[in-house]
Structure 1
């Protein structure tokens, strides 16, 4: 059981990077960006293909990050310059990335089994594979949270947040909202592709279909983190996202351990997200009941 939980924590830390990327578009920019499902597979495809061709794993991971940023740039261009609705722009980019990922890998999946990955240096020091993934992912998440907390406190970061909160007011203050939306999409999809690269190296393969359902997983982690751990300030939000991703992975691991068929996993995820999104409605119904109980009416 302990090994299952540790594995869930290590995987949750990696998926926390995607969760942060989804949060940037879904909460900060108020955009449902479907590019995520293509950019995570793109990050995995670039990293795996580069490693197979002899590139240093760290350089391959950076290259995957840049590839994700390019995907976000395309979505931003379609939305801001060609005036295509954000949701449709993301879907178009996601569809295009499926073919692009096939061209990158040359086939449906690429194995990097027994090849040097970004986790190999820690494994060479005697750290177990699971702990190596967990430790590297933890360091990466801490660095990303720190950088984003600093960045969104800068003038440009505040402009992105203002664009998502009130675009009309942001434009009145002289902010180019189109540029801010594009920049937010670039950062978001860069993080998502980075997540894909780390997942591919932890699982020793990349697959063109690995992005299916990733947007739902990201949203589930965002909602769970906000509901359970709160969102008092921006730093608290970032930490809640990480804890939400870990919590989601632990829940999935425990549910599978209890015997739920793997085929029902996406159904369970969808139900979890629906329940989490409906919590404010449930709280509205429960509030009068609580007042009645306190008032002695029941």
Structure 2
């Protein structure tokens, strides 16, 4: 059966910017959720000290959980070769971080959709950089998972492979046993697209999943799609919501995942309205997993 992890979506500022929350605080908050793991983020302030990596692993494991997945944001679509090489080296460090924490899955992205990039050039740059990281990932038993992403907090431009057509092309261009997809259905809405269309394109490549939800504050999904670029509608029309209460059709999603034999980590990305919301999302997912992957 799939296992459930959680990501500290509500505490990113505190954990990554101002340091007002410590990693130990997040672990203690998450422990009562009775989940299997915690998805990690490479940008936690305390992760700068490599000597602390094994300490955090023990903290999580002492609470009966593991760290299965690493969230990080390489930018592989810059035309400057030296820039890309630095990103490759950063990705390799994140692979090492994942390994030391006991994880098996480390995120990759394509990079920023810089205005000067053609689709063909961007795919080639991202593909070449990801493939440059794969031998090292394989040597440590780590699988690189590319997410259909929206935009990293520190990026000027949205994700190059945000749209389904580009994402599917990039995924289909890379064939390696240590490469797959981290599927986030909510991010498809940010591209003005239907998450199920993307799911059916790449379901056989999905290794892990983000569980989140969105709801429209006003208007319709058609209105969202009409807005230029899709992503511009994020702040205005779309809001985070409790998993199972928003626009995602989890019955359709889980039906397809079960069909292709998915049996891996589902990491929750919500809780922005408090731990009570995260608790309800956990309960919803446990119920759905039992429904579709009953023992």
TM-score normalised by structure 2 residue count: 0.28
Structure exhibiting the larger radius of gyration computed from Cα positions: 1
Q: Structure with the greater relative contact order (CA < 8 A, sep ≥ 6): 1 or 2?
A: 1
User: Which structure: greater strand fraction?
Assistant: 2
TM-score normalised by structure 1 residue count: 0.28
